[in-house]
């Protein structure tokens, strides 16, 4: 507008009064006084200056205008800063536990004497209960296991049964119905097909011979049995995972039933004395899957995301944007069966300098950030509550990261831990914890917003040294649909971009906030006063706008169709204009 004043004076006041066919350079003092005490140029208006033109965003800018109503909860044309960030996936596991100390035991039981007085075909004697003990322990179990209620296991056992005798060398038979009973907290299975030919499961902890099986001193039976699960909740003190890194279980195995000898090996009148030898050995013992509290080590890498091509005035360190409700969405994929907490710090930077830092997570006083098990959790971190958000972490200080728009935001010092609750966890499986970030920052402001906008209009290369005036008063009605109060100021500039000290510029008035539906109309008055002999060297003006929030429009989003328009522009020159056409 000021540029138009100066150039307009040249075009309308001088060109129209000079006969170019007359040579004014021939020894004539050509100095022209235009107007009297007050010369007023006709009123005019400007086109609308749209916010899209003011921002002048590059194609790759992180600030974008919403294309469709409802996108990001905004209206079409609303400005929003969108920026994505990706972390490197974190992979973690708790290894299988292989128990180092695995012991079985051997027991002997003397059976009642076998005697065939009258040629019976089969002579049977019951055994007393035969007790064997199994002990499984390790003092160096991973401390990622905190507590255990149960464990799926792979414990390979072998039950050997034979007999010894000083007076009998024939075949003795373990009869059908003979049982092997483990503790009720154990679940055992027949270990191979060969054993399954004669041994069957009665219940989870009992095996039974489904047919008789012959043994001798040189050829006993060797039954393969596998412990597949142990309930650890009812164990005596000092068993189970009884201390960090220490595991121990002990099981009493009880065998009982009938042992027989056929008449072919024990003729009528014969006697036999037999001692049954029962031995249980363990070849391998591993924990495969556990139910309990598990705390694996999860390492989260730092994540940085750049904010690109932002207008310079939005990055002014003097700004205090007080964004109404910026949001950062964490999309966390956690394919483990463990709910996982996340704590960390968000820091914003501008040109390498830290703007602000906020903590996120229970360690920093917010609600806990929890990635649910076996899926993807979308967590919205916001300054104020977000309607309809299932997982919303409110961080009132979040907007401080954006007091001025940064060029970099970093999420760092992240710590993730499994929620200390009972879960089922497969040992030795690799799980992934991956976090993607999306900053969604609507350009809507709170009541403490302050924005500095500077616009330089320079390179006025017209021959302004030919004109002089004492005082110029420019008035205009400003029609504003931008929801910010704006207080303008102006400074004259010389050809070197420095303040032009011989021209004073005074701006009176504040442009009131408005909206597209409710535009405001404010009168603005600009007074220019020349204190030098002319305005030679005036190369432009620096326009300064101090924008602040208006209580009536707090939280109203900036929109590309919002604009400023100057109407009824009037220029009054007090004392007229002196035009020097010499030279």
pLDDT per position as a tens digit, 174-218: 999 999 999 999 999 999 999 999 999 999 999 999 999 999 998
Band of the pLDDT at 463, cuts 50, 70, 90?
low
Structural domain ending residue among the three candidates 399, 416, 442 = 442
Spatial contact of 424 and 315, defined as CB atoms under 8 Å apart: no
**CA–CA gap between residue 303 and residue 547 (Å, rounded):** 33
Q: Is the pLDDT of residue 42 over 80?
A: no
Q: Is the pLDDT of residue 32 over 60?
A: no
pLDDT of residue 237: 94
Rounded to 10 degrees, what is the CA torsion of 304, 310, 316, 319? Answer: -80
365, 423: one domain: yes
Give the residue with greater pLDDT, 317 vs 574.
317
Q: Is the pLDDT of residue 17 over 60?
A: no
Band of the pLDDT at 39, cuts 50, 70, 90?
low
Spatial contact of 225 and 195, defined as CB atoms under 8 Å apart: yes
Task: Kindly list the distances between the CA atom of residue 581 and the CA atoms of 140, 243, 464, in Å, as whole numbers in the listed order.
Answer: 101, 102, 11
> What is the full DSSP assignment across 200-232?
EEEETTEEEESS-EEE-SS--EEEEEEEEEEE-
DSSP conformational letter for 464:
G
Q: What is the pLDDT of residues 354-393, one digit of tens each?
A: 999 999 999 999 999 999 999 999 999 999 999 888 899 9
Spatial contact of 296 and 338, defined as CB atoms under 8 Å apart: yes
89, 101: one domain: no
466, 483: one domain: yes
Q: Is the pLDDT of residue 3 over 70?
A: no
The overall average pLDDT reported for the chain is 88
pLDDT of residue 14: 31
Residue 306 belongs to some domain of the structure = no
83, 105: one domain: no
**What are φ and ψ of residue 458, in 5° steps?**
-130, -165
User: What total of structural domains would you count in the chain?
Assistant: 3
Q: Cα-atom radius of gyration of the chain, to the nearest Å?
A: 46
Q: Is the pLDDT of residue 15 over 90?
A: no
**Most confident segment among 59-63, 200-204, 504-508:** 200-204
374, 437: one domain: yes
Give the residue with greater pLDDT, 581 vs 141.
141
Structural domain ending residue among the three candidates 416, 442, 468 = 442
232, 108: one domain: yes
**What are φ and ψ of residue 187, in 5° steps?**
-115, 120
479, 363: one domain: no
The stretches of 205-329 forming alpha helices (DSSP H) are none
| Residue 567: alpha-carbon gap to chain centroid | 49
Residue 424's domain is classified under what CATH number? 2.60.120
237, 111: one domain: yes
Q: Is the pLDDT of residue 346 over 90?
A: yes
Q: Determine the average pLDDT of the residues in 542-565.
A: 92
Q: Determine the average pLDDT of the residues in 50-59.
A: 90
Task: Kindly list the distances between the CA atom of residue 308 and the CA atoms of 61, 63, 357, 387, 452, in Å, as whole numbers in the listed order.
Answer: 5, 8, 20, 29, 20
**What are φ and ψ of residue 126, in 5° steps?**
-80, 150
Residue 302 belongs to some domain of the structure = no
3-class DSSP state of 244: coil
pLDDT of residue 169: 92
Q: Is the pLDDT of residue 337 over 50?
A: yes
182, 249: one domain: yes
**What are φ and ψ of residue 498, in 5° steps?**
-90, 160
Band of the pLDDT at 582, cuts 50, 70, 90?
low
pTM of the model: 0.76
| Residue 243: alpha-carbon gap to chain centroid | 35
Question: Residue 408 — left, alpha, or beta (φ > 0 → left; ψ -120 to 50 → alpha)?
Answer: beta
**CA–CA gap between residue 245 and residue 145 (Å, rounded):** 8
DSSP conformational letter for 268:
T
**CA–CA gap between residue 357 and residue 403 (Å, rounded):** 11
Residue 188 belongs to some domain of the structure = yes
358, 460: one domain: no
275, 395: one domain: no
Residue 324 belongs to some domain of the structure = yes
Q: Domain containing 549: what range?
A: 2-59+449-580
Q: Is the pLDDT of residue 117 over 60?
A: yes
Q: Is the pLDDT of residue 40 over 80?
A: no
**CA–CA gap between residue 72 and residue 66 (Å, rounded):** 8
Rounded to 10 degrees, what is the CA torsion of 454, 455, 461, 467? Answer: -70
230, 117: one domain: yes
Task: Kindly list the distances between the CA atom of residue 528 and the CA atoms of 38, 379, 468, in Å, as whole numbers in the listed order.
Answer: 14, 55, 12
Residue 73 belongs to some domain of the structure = no
DSSP conformational letter for 7:
H
Spatial contact of 381 and 393, defined as CB atoms under 8 Å apart: yes
Residue 65 belongs to some domain of the structure = no
Structural domain ending residue among the three candidates 422, 442, 462 = 442
Q: What is the pLDDT of residues 230-271, one digit of tens each?
A: 999 989 999 999 999 999 999 999 999 999 999 889 888 889
Q: What is the pLDDT of residues 124-173, one digit of tens each?
A: 999 999 999 999 999 999 999 999 999 999 999 999 999 999 999 999 99
pLDDT of residue 180: 98
pLDDT of residue 216: 93
Q: What is the pLDDT of residues 216-228, one digit of tens each?
A: 998 999 999 999 9
Task: Kindly list the distances between the CA atom of residue 139 and the CA atoms of 238, 247, 259, 268, 295, in Å, as whole numbers in the listed order.
Answer: 12, 6, 41, 58, 18
Q: Is the pLDDT of residue 21 over 70?
A: no
Residue 433 belongs to some domain of the structure = yes
Residue 300 belongs to some domain of the structure = no
């Amino acid at each position: 507008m000021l540029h138009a004043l100066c150039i307009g004076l040249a075009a309308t006041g001088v060109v129209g009064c000079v006969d170019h066919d007359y040579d004014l350079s021939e020894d004539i003092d050509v100095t022209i006084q235009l107007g009297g005490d007050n010369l007023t140029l006709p009123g005019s208006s400007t086109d609308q200056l749209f916010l899209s033109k003011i921002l002048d965003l590059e194609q790759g800018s992180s600030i974008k205008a919403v294309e469709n109503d409802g996108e990001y909860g905004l209206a079409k044309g609303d400005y929003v800063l969108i920026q994505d960030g990706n972390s490197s996936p974190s992979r973690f596991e708790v290894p299988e536990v292989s128990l180092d100390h695995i012991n079985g035991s051997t027991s002997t039981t003397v059976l009642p004497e076998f005697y065939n007085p009258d040629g019976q075909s089969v002579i049977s004697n019951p055994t007393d209960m035969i007790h064997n003990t199994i002990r499984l322990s390790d003092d160096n179990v991973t401390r990622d296991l905190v507590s255990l209620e149960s464990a799926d296991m792979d414990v390979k056992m072998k039950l050997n049964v034979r007999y010894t005798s000083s007076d009998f060398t024939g075949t003795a038979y373990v009869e059908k119905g003979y049982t092997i009973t483990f503790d009720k907290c154990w679940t055992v299975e027949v270990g191979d097909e060969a054993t399954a030919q004669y041994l069957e499961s009665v219940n989870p902890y009992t095996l039974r011979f489904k047919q008789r099986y012959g043994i001798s001193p040189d050829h006993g039976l060797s039954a393969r049995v596998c412990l597949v699960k142990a309930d650890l909740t009812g164990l005596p003190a000092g068993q189970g995972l009884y201390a960090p890194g220490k595991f121990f279980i002990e099981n009493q195995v009880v065998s009982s039933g009938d042992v027989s000898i056929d008449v072919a090996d024990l003729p009528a009148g014969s006697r036999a004395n037999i001692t049954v030898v029962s031995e249980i050995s363990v070849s391998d013992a591993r924990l495969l899957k556990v139910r309990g509290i598990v705390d694996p080590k999860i390492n989260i890498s730092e994540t940085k995301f750049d904010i690109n091509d932002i207008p310079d005035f939005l990055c002014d360190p003097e700004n205090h944007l007080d964004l109404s409700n910026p949001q950062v969405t964490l999309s966390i994929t956690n394919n483990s069966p463990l709910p996982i907490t996340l704590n960390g710090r968000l820091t914003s930077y501008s040109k390498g300098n830290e703007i602000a830092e906020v903590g996120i997570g229970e360690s920093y006083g917010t609600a806990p950030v929890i990635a649910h098990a076996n899926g993807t959790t979308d967590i919205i971190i916001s300054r104020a509550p977000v309607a309809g958000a299932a997982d919303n972490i409110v961080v009132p200080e979040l907007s401080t990261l954006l007091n001025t728009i940064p060029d970099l935001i970093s999420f760092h010092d992240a710590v993730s831990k499994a929620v200390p609750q009972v879960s089922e966890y497969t040992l030795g499986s690799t799980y992934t914890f991956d976090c993607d970030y999306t900053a969604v920052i609507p350009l809507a402001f709170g009541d403490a917003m302050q924005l500095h906008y500077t616009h330089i209009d320079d390179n006025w290369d017209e021959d302004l040294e030919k004109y002089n005036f004492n005082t110029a008063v420019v008035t205009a009605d400003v029609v504003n649909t931008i929801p910010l109060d704006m207080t303008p100021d102006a400074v004259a500039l010389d050809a070197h971009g420095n303040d032009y000290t011989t021209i004073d510029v005074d701006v009176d008035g504040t442009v009131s906030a408005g909206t597209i539906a409710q535009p405001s109309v404010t009168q603005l008055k600009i007074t220019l006063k020349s204190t030098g002999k002319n305005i030679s060297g005036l190369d432009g003006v620096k326009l300064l706008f101090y924008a602040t929030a208006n209580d009536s429009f707090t939280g109203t989003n900036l929109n590309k169709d919002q604009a400023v328009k100057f109407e009824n522009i009037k220029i009054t020159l007090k004392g007229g204009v002196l035009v020097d056409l010499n030279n």
